[in-house]
Structure 1
Amino acid sequence: MKRKHRSAKSKSRRRRTEATQSALPAPLYEADVADGLEALAAEEVRRRLQPHVSMEPVALRGAVRFRFGDAPRRLFDLKTVLAVFQLHRLDVPRPRALLGDQHWRALCTAAAAIVHLHPPGAFETFYLSAAGAHTATMQRIAEGMANHLGLRRVQTPDEGHFLMRIRRPPEGSAGWDVLFRLTPRPLSARAWRVCNYPGAMNATVAHAMALLTAPHPDDIVFNPCCGSGTLLIERGLIAPAARLLGCDIEPAVLACARENALAAGLAERIEWEAWDACQTPLPEKSVDVILSDLPFGGLVGSHAENERLYPAFVQEMARIARPGARGALITHEVRLLNTVLEAQTAWRVEQVLKVTLGGLHPRIFLLRRQVW
C-alpha cells in the first residue's frame, strides 16, 4: 500500500512540474536585422517557426524580437537576419547586481546551454559588448563568464565566437538586458562563402532581395554585375528556377563565384558568363527576373564611371526583360539611379527600400517591366 501511495504522489508531483513548466513563457530571442528589412525578417520568423513562435509587440530598428518554444537549433536556419540572440531581461538597478548569486548562476547556466548546442570546440573566444565595458564591474562580468565557459577573451567583436551583450532595454523598460548570441559566427556569414571578394554583398540582404522578387520555379533569373555570386546563390537556395545566369567582366570574380556556387551545391544549376552587363548576347524579352548589386563607386568603380554605366545598364535590362518582368537593384548611388529611372519609361518603380548596413545606406529598387 505504501509503495502505491508513493507512486501516486510521484505522479502527482510530475504532473505539477509539467504544468508549471508549460505555464512558463517561451524563451525570448532578438534577431539583428539590416535596418529597413525588419518587416521581411519578421515574416520569415513567423513563417519558418510557426506554430511555436509569438512575435513581441515592440517596434525596434534593426531588430526583431520574439518568443520561441521549440528547439533553438531551428533558429540557425533563418536567412534574412544577421544574428540571433537569447535575451534575458533582469529587474536589477545596475550591472553590478548581475553578479549576485541567483542572477549569475542563471546567466551562467543559459550561456553554457548555448555552447552545448554546438560541437565541442565551436567556441574558442569570448567578447563582451557593453557601454562602459572598460569599467571594473563589466570587466568582472566578462572575466567571470569567459572563465565559466573556458573561453579566451578577445578585444574586438569580429574575433569573438561567444558574443555577450549588456545594455539598457532599448524601448525604455526598467532593468538591464543580457543577450547571448546563439552561434559562433553571425548567420550572415554563410558556410558556402569559401571565396571572399572586396565589396561582396551581405548574404542576408541578398536573400531578402531575392524574396522580394516573388521567386517562381519557371523564372529565368539574370544577375548582371554578379561579383562573387551572392545574389544568384541565395536565389538558387530559395527555390528552383528554369535558369540561373550571372555575368561579370572580371575573370577573377567569376572564378570566385564558381567556387562559392560549388560550395553551395549549385555548381550544376548556375551559369557564369564573362559578359559586359551593358551589351549582353541575350535575346530580347527573354528574362523574367533581374537581380543586381550595382557598383557603388567606392570599392568597385567610380561615380564618373557609374554616370556612363547606369543609363546603358538600365537600357540593356529593359531590352532583355519580358513584359511584366521583376527587377531588384541595390545601390548607394541613389540619386544617380533615380535620375536614370525617371528619364525612361520601360521600368516602373514599385518600391524603394532604404537599408542601413555597415555604415552605408543603400537603397533597394524594386522594378516592374512595363507591359505595352
Structure 2
Amino acid sequence: MPDATRVLLSCAVGFEDLVRGDLMEQYAVRSRQVGPGQVSAEQLPPVLNTMIDTVALPWDGNPADLRALVTPLVPDVLGFRVQAGDPVLREELVKTVVAATGWVNRPGDWQVNLDPERELVEIGPLAWAARFGRMRRLPATTPPAVAAGLVRLAKLKPGMTLLDPCGGVATIPIVDAIERPDGHAWSIDSDNAAVTDATANVADRDLTDRIDVRRGDATALELPDLSVDRVISDLPFGKKVGSNQENRVLYPAILREVERVLSVDGRVVLLTDDKRFFEQAVQRARGLKVVTQRVVRYNNVTPTAYVLRRSRKPRR
C-alpha cells in the first residue's frame, strides 16, 4: 500500500545523495532513496531545487481518492492523462476518473498524469520545465536536472565566475543563475546553432547581464589567465557530437586551456562518456588532478562527472 504522506522526487541517477543532503540541510526534510533517480521525501519542501526533475504522489489506484490527494498541490485540475500500456485498462480508468473527479481527459495538455502500474500521480505543474521554463534544445543538449547536479558538484559561491567552454545552449550557466544570487558566467561554443539558441535562452530569462554567450573555441579561449573560479562543462562524448578519434586531440587541448584560465584555488567539473581518453588526457596534462568522480545515468548513457583541482601552482 503506498504511503500517502510522502512525495516522490526524481533526479538524474547518480545525484540522489545530493538531493537528499540538500533536503535535510536546507529544509530539515528527511528522505530516502527508493530506486535509481528516485527519492522519497516525508513532505514536499518549500522550494524545489534545480536537481529535482519531477514530483509524484503515491496512489493506490482508487479514483475516489484523487481529489483529496491532488488538490493541495493543484487546486484546479484542467486536464489529466492515464499512462498505461494496456489500452483497455487506460480507457476504463479514464471513464472512472472523469466520473469521480469531473476532470477532463487531455493526454496532450495535462496537469496530472496517472500511472496505475507504478501507483503514482505525477504533478505536471511541479515538473522542471513548468517551474523554470522550457529551453531551446539541440540533440546533445544537457538535461537541466543533470546540469544542476554538475553545478552542485562545483560548489559555486556568490560572486564567483563560471565558464562553460562547450556551452551548447547555455543550460549550465542558466541553471547556475537560477540557484545562485550573483556571479558572472561565460557560455562559449563553436557551433552557430548552439550560440543562437543559447543567446535566446539567456534573453528569455533576462540574464544577459549575468551570462555572456560567445562563439569561440574551447581550445583557444579569449579569456585572461587565472580569470575563472569554476569551469563546468558537458564535453562532447564522441557519439552525437564529434568522435572518439577527435577526442584524442580535443580533450588535451581543452584541459590545457582550462588549466590556463582557472584561478589558483579553482574547481572544475567535466562530464564525459569517453572516459578512457579523458583519463589519459588528465594524466598527461599534469596540471590538473581528479579529486572525485561519480557515474551519472540519463537518456540511455552513463557518463562520469569528474571533479578536478590544480595539482600544482600555476606558472607565472
Does TM-score exceed 0.5, indicating one fold?
Answer: yes
Asked if the contact 1:126/1:163 (under 8 Å) is kept, the reply is yes
**Cα separation, 2, equivalents of 1:164 and 1:342:** 49
Counterpart Cα distance in 2 of 1:258 and 1:104: 45
Does residue 29 of the first structure (1) align with residue 4 of the second (2)?
no
1:285-300 equivalences in 2 (<5 Å) = 285-300=226-241
- Counterpart check, 1:65 vs 2:18: no
CA distance in 1, matches of 2:139, 2:88: 39
Corresponding residue number in structure 2 for 1:163: 113
* Aligned equivalent of 1:134: 86
Distance apart, 1:313 and its partner CA:
0.7
Q: Are residue 55 (structure 1) and residue 31 (structure 2) matched?
A: yes
AA aligned to 2:23 is V
SS in 2 for 1:343: helix
- 1:190, 1:203 within 8 Å by CA — same for their partners in 2? no
State the 1:142 CA deviation: 4.0
Aligned counterpart for 1:151 among listed residues 98, 101, 104: 104
Distance 2:120 2:88 in 1: 20
Query: What is the aligned partner in structure 2 of residue 271 from structure 1?
Result: 212
Are 1:45 and 2:23 matched, yes or no?
Answer: yes
3-state SS, counterpart of residue 262 of structure 1: helix
1:337 lines up with 2:286 in the alignment: no
Matches within 5 A, 1:82-121: 82-88=53-59, 90=60, 98=61, 103-111=62-70, 114-116=73-75, 121=78
Partner Cα distance (2:141, 2:102) in 1: 34
Cα distance change on mapping 1:104 and 1:287 into 2, 3 Å:
closer
Residue 355 of structure 1, CA deviation: 0.8
Q: Give the alignment partner of residue 208 of structure 1, picking from 149, 153, 158.
A: 149
Q: Quick one: distance in 2 between partners of 1:253 and 1:135? A: 40
Distance 1:262 1:284 in 2: 28
Q: Is 1:306 matched with 2:247? A: yes
CA–CA separation in structure 1 for the residues paired with 2:105 and 2:152: 39
* Alpha-carbon spacing, 1:81–1:242, altered in 2? closer, same or farther (3 Å): closer
Partner Cα distance (2:195, 2:235) in 1: 16
Q: Is the 8 A contact 2:138 2:194 kept in 1?
A: yes
Shift of 1:317: 0.9
The letter of the residue matching 2:31 is M
Deviations 1:121-169 (CA, angstroms, capped at 9, x unpaired): 4xx341324xxx3175554224422554533364xxx8754212234xx
Deviations 1:296-352 (A, max 9, x none): 222222222222211111111111112221001111212221121122211110111
Show the counterpart of 1:249. Answer: 190
Q: Is the 8 A contact 1:347 1:369 kept in 2?
A: yes
Instruction: State the one-letter code of the partner of 2:114.
Output: M
- Contact 1:195 1:256 (8 Å CA) reproduced: yes
- Contact 1:318–1:347 at 8 Å: present in 2 too? yes
How many pairs are equivalent?
310
Distance apart, 1:55 and its partner CA: 2.1
1:17 alignment partner in structure 2: none
- Mapped to 1, the partners of 2:91 and 2:27 lie a distance apart of 37
* TM-score, scaled to structure 2: 0.87
Distance in 2, Cα, partners of 1:363 & 1:105? 45
- 1:19 aligns with none
Q: Secondary structure at the match of 2:42?
A: strand
Work out whether residues 217 and 242 of structure 1, in 8 Å CA contact, stay in contact via their aligned partners in 2. Answer: yes
Bigger radius of gyration among the two? 1
How far is 1:247 from its partner? 1.0
Instruction: Tell me how large the CA RMSD over aligned residues is.
Output: 2.6
What CA deviation, in whole Å up to 9, does each residue of 1:252-282 have, x standing for no partner? 3212112111222311111122211101122
Q: Offset at 1:365?
A: 0.7
Q: Secondary structure at the match of 2:35?
A: coil
Q: 2:73 & 2:215 partners in 1: Cα distance?
A: 45
Q: What is the aligned counterpart of 2:52 among 81, 86, 108?
A: 81
What is the one-letter code of the residue matched to 1:127?
V
What is the CA–CA distance in structure 2 between the aligned matches of 1:239 and 1:135, rounded to whole Å? Answer: 45
How far apart, CA to CA, are the structure 2 residues paired with 1:82 and 1:46? 18
TM-score, with normalisation over the residues of structure 1? Answer: 0.75
1:331/1:59 Cα in 2 relative to 1: closer, same or farther (>3 Å)? same
